[in-house]
Structure 1
Amino acid sequence: MHNGMLKVSVGQKSDPGPKPENEDSMGIATPSGLTLANKGVVAVIADGVSSADAGKEASAACVKNFIADYLSTPDTWSVKTSAHRVLSALNRWLYGQSLRSISSRFENNDHKGYISTMSVLILKSTTASIFHIGDSRIYRFRSGDLELLTRDHSVAVGQGKAYLARAMGMDLGLDVDYKTEPLQSGDVFLLTTDGVHDFLPRRELSQYLETLQDPDSDEDAESTANRIVADALARGSDDNTTCQVIQVTELPDGDADEYCHKLNTLPFPPFLSEGMIFDGYRILKELHASSRSQVYLVEDTESHQHWVMKTPSVNFVDDPAYIERFVLEEWIGKRVNSPHVVRVIEPERDKKWLYYLTEYVAGASLERWIGQNRSSGVEQIVRIAEQIVQGLRAFHRKDTLHQDIKPANIMVNRDGTVKIIDFGSCKVAGIDEIQVPIERDQVLGTATYSAPEYRLRRSTGVQSDLFSVSVVAYEMLTGYHPYGKAYEECQDIRDFSQLKYAPAWQYNPMVPDWIDGALRKGCSISRESRYDSLSEFIFDLKHPNKSFLKSSKRPLIERNPLVFWKSLTLILLVTQVLTIGFLMQ
């Protein structure tokens, strides 16, 4: 029976060749279980630049540190986010090592350059991700064709000579080639340093890999790697020779029934009512119920602590997409840590049913708070908006979009602390990359607060959550939507283009121009016109942006009463002087 996981066969070989020291490095990580599903198989090859005295140390650091650090990144992060952040940090470290070496060279004459080429192949689910800098190479062999997937970062200078234009540690800024390729069962990937591919023609490399794919051959990935290195040396390679071979033997299982069976490890809870004891918890009262779930206030019968219990709706007991989404909610909540995000509780006892627990926030939803605090000051509302943003940033640090920021999903406790609740619409980049044999349940946010790109089916990002925060802040200040009721009816770009933003000060004269300007930019119809980051939005809410003051169309008497009355007084004075002068003629 298939285990639903990616399976590979791997082999690698490195030889110093005629050189006294091997400056090449290589490494392959083939994790299992959840790490395999969330992070994938990782292969790294690096070639220390011989003209740099610390090339060997640099290549070893590239391989060892990348694999360890990549596998340690949050499993919510996408492959791209994880790899780029690790590569950037690694590059800065190598560059820093070189600078420290330069600063001490006059003392001990021990200047070293930490520079290396580096090529990374990550196989996750059904996708190959490639990160490349330098002149090591990654090939793919499929259906008898050997395709080079990377481009050498070298510049020819004549007479068969070339110099490396890009490498790890060469510069503080890092320009890495990145691409993704779909996987097929049987694909073979070959990673080589120049000591191999400069001496073996592509035709011969293809023959090695074709033999590997032959079911009648005794060759495996390890023996193929050994043959390639040995033949490169036999062909006169005068450099270190290194190669890695990774063959995809099985892709993740595509059986929907088996996938559904794995999701249904716990049964749906029965109907719950006040006073019942369920799995060690006393049901105190129902807090919320919808067609998709129920939420209860419960008391642990042992510790007497109060928690909130969320249970799935029996309407979806046979819906694997819904079950996956429900299980994902708890998974997300356990990984997002912020005082402004409701905390998911790890039960002290094993669960017998499908549900999850969160902390109980003693307070009211922001929806109710708005209704009860119509006369709240601008500063208080800005403080609430800032707390919402702080909570959202905890999601974004995990490469996760909340996608359903609205007053009903925000709690305000008795001391004024704000907490974001409900993870049912979250989009996790790292999970989205994992292919499953079902059509995933895409539960999007409420139309009133969701950014236009959701309905327009365009790319989303941090600015999409920013739009929702801006609309919520606008509603707290005015009681209205910035684009009115027509916003909910919009379906295409033409509908959205006809909307007009209503300045917040038209509903609430106490809203300053610069705050209105920040709200206008934060909830712009075009994602590209919004702030690049949530922190910029909050900064402009708290500090007057002069550009918003200059562009305001607000009447001067409302925008700056003092200037208005001073100007009017001056005009009246001048008029009186002119009148007196005219009468005296």
Structure 2
Amino acid sequence: MHKSLRVTLGQHSLAGPRSVNQDFHGAVLPGGSLRVSKGIAVALADGIGSSRVSQVASAAAVRGFLDDYYATSDAWSVRRSAQRVLSATNSWLHAQTMRSNARFDMDSGYVCTFSALILKGRDLHLLHVGDTRIHRLHPHALEQLTEDHRVHVSSVESYLGRALGAAPHVEIDYCSWQAEVGEVYMLSTDGAYAHLDATAVHHALAQGGDDLDEAARLLVAAARAKGGDDDCTVQLLRIDELPSADAAQLQTQREGLAIAPPLAPRARFEGFAVVRELHVSSRSHVHLAVDEATGQQVVLKLPSVDLRDDPDYLDRFVLEEWVARRIDSIHVLKASAIERQRRHLYVAMEYVDGQTLAQWMIDHPRPTLDSVRGIVEQLAKGLQALHGKEMLHQDVRPENVMIDRSGTVKIIDLATAHVAGLAETAREHRALAIEGTLQYTAPEYFVGRGGSARSDLYSLAVIAYRMLSSQLPYGLQVTRVRNSIDVNRLHYVPVRHFRPDLPEWVDAVLQKALHPDPAKRQQAVSEFAYDLRSPGQEFLRLRRSPLIERNPVRFWQCTAVVLGTAVVMLLGLCIAGH
């Protein structure tokens, strides 16, 4: 039985001598799939005392963060989701200041400090700006996990160096670590933490028992008793249970679904009428079917019965439809709109009436540069849609690209995708495993450096190179790479060696996209597609390639002629000397 994520939360706030409490706090403890995909969030903000509207800023920061974080894509990582939300909040707060009289005195504007903890899966994520604090409780100490963004002018004078709303842009501190059952964390404002220590926290927890609200109230009272006269807020978070290491969103999605039986033409299955078999392999069975309710043609993919006990395979199987439902691009295969309850495990995707890019390449062995550009540009748009959701395809190859009868190019087979938001539940967040076909896989995967969006860019460039030449840019050298020395030995074969009719700058663009070092490639797939259409001076002002690169055969032929001539001349001189 898999364990779930369980915590206990307590919080309390007390205003200072002013009638308005400029602190604001909140938390969201969702249930079900939302707790798995987004986790539990606790947030705290503290307005600056010099502003009469900073309580508005504090409330907006906490409410906006807790509302908007849970509205972000569950494909995004916690860091990306949280920082995007906080950046938007910061911009809004600063804009409110600039629209008011406070634009002449920023210390009276919509400004606040902010700290938050997000517990997702087995990991804690910290977001922070300003001088609110997050502590971890130890037997004899409070470990401060945040850094105070306060600039000290003297021993008695200081000011905030960073805060939400203080400037158009703000840098948000972020870190993450693995949580442990039984840990207690405290979020607090300066009116509380300045007067509290580990002994006080342990005493309050002992008195409050399982009622952490009472423990938080006792801590606020203790801080006030020790001379604290500012607004005072304390939040306590205790981790009671963490999910099993293998518990994941995809696993919960497929739980309770039976493995489907083999299907035959004209069979009825879950509201579909099977038309014919499209593809069968040791990993899946793919059929063309018609939704009996709408008459829509769909592709049904069923998992192999032989792999029904392989949880990793089953998670990957479910992943394809999960990814497709979160991508809105004409160039990425869409999931079927069917939403009815399922009894069996299957994937329903749109049917593309056309051919694979692999077949197109057979039919067009010597395509024009313009036709290749058109395909690359469409593939780049599809990959860009994936990358925008922090997803990597990881298996971009001609067999995973469909071209329909109207010429629209679509990326298919999303089961190998790496999704940042899902990977956070695993120990290793990076895309390390080689999921794709070796000939199209970027060198960094082979040396264990992990993949990135530039790895998909590399695969796209291999496709472009192969469409133009029917060859691979490094032959089979990449598949034998095992260390950095092997990477440095990779030798790019110019595409003009096979297609001398192409402009020289094409090789320059391709060679950059295919560079063994991902940092030296174009920054994005869209940049590569643009360079292939409109090369800049970087590619146009290149020196003419040496003959050995442009035509190795002719180079060695010429070399042989020169050496042969030299030998004949030397023999002649030797004979003349005798």
Taking structure 1 as the reference length, what is the TM-score of the superposition?
Answer: 0.87
In structure 2, the partner of 1:220 is: 211
In structure 2, the partner of 1:517 is: 508
Matching residue's letter, 1:300:
D
Aligned pair partner of 1:453 in 444, 449, 455: 444
Aligned pair partner of 2:274 in 283, 308, 311: 283
- In structure 1, C-alpha distance between the alignment counterparts of 2:204 and 2:408, rounded to whole Å: 61
Q: Is 2:50–2:107's contact at 8 Å kept on the other side of the alignment?
A: no
Structure 1 gap ranges (5+)? 560-585
* Residue 482 of structure 1, CA deviation: 1.1
In structure 2, the partner of 1:581 is: none
Higher mean C-alpha deviation, range 357-366 or range 217-226: 217-226
* Residue 274 of structure 1, CA deviation: 3.3
Q: Structure 1 residues 261, 315: closer, same or farther in 2, change over 3 A? A: farther
1:145-173 deviations in Å (ceiling 9; x for gaps): 42111111112222422111111111223
Q: Is 2:434–2:441's contact at 8 Å kept on the other side of the alignment?
A: no
- In structure 1, C-alpha distance between the alignment counterparts of 2:107 and 2:137, rounded to whole Å: 42
Q: Is 1:139–1:149's contact at 8 Å kept on the other side of the alignment?
A: yes
In structure 2, the partner of 1:387 is: 378
Q: Structure 1 residues 509, 333: closer, same or farther in 2, change over 3 A? A: same
Q: Is 2:465–2:471's contact at 8 Å kept on the other side of the alignment?
A: yes
- In structure 2, C-alpha distance between the alignment counterparts of 1:260 and 1:417, rounded to whole Å: 33
Q: Structure 1 residues 145, 322: closer, same or farther in 2, change over 3 A? A: farther
1:238 is aligned to 2:221: no
1:106-161 deviations in Å (ceiling 9; x for gaps): xxx99951111101110111111001111100011245542111111112222422
Q: Structure 1 residues 295, 443: closer, same or farther in 2, change over 3 A? A: farther
Matches for 1:7-406 after TM superposition, within 5 Å? 7-102=6-101, 112-142=108-138, 145-200=141-196, 202-208=197-203, 211=206, 218-253=209-244, 263-347=254-338, 349-406=340-397
Structure 2 gap ranges (5+)? 551-578
Query: SS state of the match for residue 345, structure 1?
Result: coil
Q: Structure 1 residues 110, 193: closer, same or farther in 2, change over 3 A? A: closer
Query: SS state of the match for residue 259, structure 2?
Result: coil
Matching residue's letter, 1:66:
F
1:464-507 deviations in Å (ceiling 9; x for gaps): 11111111111112211111122222232222221111222222
Matching residue's letter, 2:167:
D
* Residue 458 of structure 1, CA deviation: 0.9
- In structure 2, C-alpha distance between the alignment counterparts of 1:336 and 1:261, rounded to whole Å: 21
Matching residue's letter, 1:527:
P
1:538 is aligned to 2:529: yes
Query: SS state of the match for residue 276, structure 2?
Result: strand
Matches for 1:531-570 after TM superposition, within 5 Å? 531-554=522-545
1:371-418 deviations in Å (ceiling 9; x for gaps): 111232211211111111111111112211111111100001111100
In percent, how many aligned pairs have the same letter?
39
Q: Is 1:125–1:252's contact at 8 Å kept on the other side of the alignment?
A: yes
Matching residue's letter, 1:452:
P
1:63-92 deviations in Å (ceiling 9; x for gaps): 010110101001111101101111111111
Q: Is 1:287–1:296's contact at 8 Å kept on the other side of the alignment?
A: yes
Query: SS state of the match for residue 459, structure 2?
Result: helix
1:410-463 deviations in Å (ceiling 9; x for gaps): 001111100010011011111111259xxx996701111111122211132111
In structure 2, the partner of 1:582 is: none
Q: Is 1:425–1:443's contact at 8 Å kept on the other side of the alignment?
A: no
Q: Structure 1 residues 543, 127: closer, same or farther in 2, change over 3 A? A: same
- In structure 2, C-alpha distance between the alignment counterparts of 1:549 and 1:134, rounded to whole Å: 49
1:194-222 deviations in Å (ceiling 9; x for gaps): 1111223x24444346627xxxx635210
- In structure 2, C-alpha distance between the alignment counterparts of 1:318 and 1:496, rounded to whole Å: 38
Higher mean C-alpha deviation, range 382-391 or range 17-26: 17-26
Matching residue's letter, 1:515:
V
1:479 is aligned to 2:470: yes
Q: Is 1:308–1:360's contact at 8 Å kept on the other side of the alignment?
A: yes
- In structure 2, C-alpha distance between the alignment counterparts of 1:429 and 1:485, rounded to whole Å: 30
- In structure 2, C-alpha distance between the alignment counterparts of 1:416 and 1:38, rounded to whole Å: 37
1:497 is aligned to 2:493: no
1:419 is aligned to 2:414: no
- In structure 1, C-alpha distance between the alignment counterparts of 2:421 and 2:252, rounded to whole Å: 23
Query: SS state of the match for residue 83, structure 1?
Result: helix
Query: SS state of the match for residue 72, structure 1?
Result: coil
Taking structure 2 as the reference length, what is the TM-score of the superposition?
Answer: 0.88
Matching residue's letter, 1:316:
L
What is the CA RMSD across the aligned residues, in angstroms? 2.7
Q: Is 2:77–2:420's contact at 8 Å kept on the other side of the alignment?
A: yes
Q: Structure 1 residues 177, 103: closer, same or farther in 2, change over 3 A? A: closer
Q: Is 1:514–1:540's contact at 8 Å kept on the other side of the alignment?
A: no
Q: Is 1:325–1:441's contact at 8 Å kept on the other side of the alignment?
A: no
- In structure 1, C-alpha distance between the alignment counterparts of 2:52 and 2:368, rounded to whole Å: 64
Matching residue's letter, 1:207:
H
